[in-house]
Amino acid sequence: MKLLRYGPAGQERPGLLDGEGLIRDLSSVVPDISGKTLSRAGIEALRRLDTAALPLVADPVRIGPCVAGVGNFIAVGLNYADHARESGLPIPAEPVLFNKAPSSISGPNDPIVVPPGSSKLDWEVEIAMVIGEAAYDLPEADAPDVIAGYCVCHDVSERAFQNERGGQWTKGKSSPGFGPLGPYLVTADAIAEPQDLTLWLDVNGVRMQSGSTATMIFGLHFLVSYISRFMRLEPGDVITTGTPPGVGMGRHPPRYLKAGDRVELGITGLGTQRQQVLAHG
């Protein structure tokens, strides 16, 4: 099942993508695609719906971020060995965790606005997990029970803010528009093997990143368990899980995004995103 949110920014309505690729409105069924909706019971109730009876949504329509009310937006750094090497950093012995501000979340095709003072704006395609059940100190074997689904995340990064402003990665990861999510949330039961999906990203039509979740250092289920040792995960929380090699910072010479650039990215079975880079102001 593919769940989504559509409509103007800040006024999104819940929906789902039917078997023919058409958007069906869920407003009469749930208030939004958020924590309560994404529980096991909530998803099962949606699965029982007669989707053909739901109202069709006229196209075209803006697609918003695929989950609302995100409390924790947690990110994993250096989770692909090749990306760690291109960053000039050692392969971590344990997952590197940092936060992205929930206010950075945007729709999958919304523009990326260059923040004031930016000089090293970079791209990162990632697979994100959305939590559907509360979890604290969770055994890895139980991790699948709390994952509501998966989506594409663009972990947009400002490398000067991240690496040259006091060592706090959150600074370079949290500007408005730095967390496009979607186009939809694919429920976990619809992804047979999340640890074997292809990720890719193009800038101006040129392939920059190509990788597979099979090459992660720390797997998806391990990450849920590991993170839950340090915090209580809540329904609707998002965990974005690291990027494969090919980021702008790792190129020789480095290549960063600028106003006018076009970025397209996607993951097998999870859809694609398209963003235009705009100048600030």
Strands (E), the chain: 2-6, 13-17, 23-25, 73-77, 96-99, 105-106, 112-113, 121-122, 125-131, 147-154, 157-158, 179-180, 185-187, 198-203, 206-212, 238-240, 262-267, 271-278
Residues 6+ apart with CB under 8 A from 268: 197, 198
Q: pLDDT tens digits for 150-197? A: 999 999 999 999 999 987 799 999 999 999 999 999 999 999 999 999
Full set of structural domains in the chain with CATH: 2-53 (no CATH), 73-278 (3.90.850.10)
Question: The pTM is what?
Answer: 0.96
User: Scanning the structure block, which residue is given the tokens 């705009």?
Assistant: 278
Pairing of strands 271-278, 112-113: parallel
Q: pLDDT tens digits for 215-267? A: 999 999 999 999 999 999 999 999 999 999 999 999 999 999 999 999 999 99
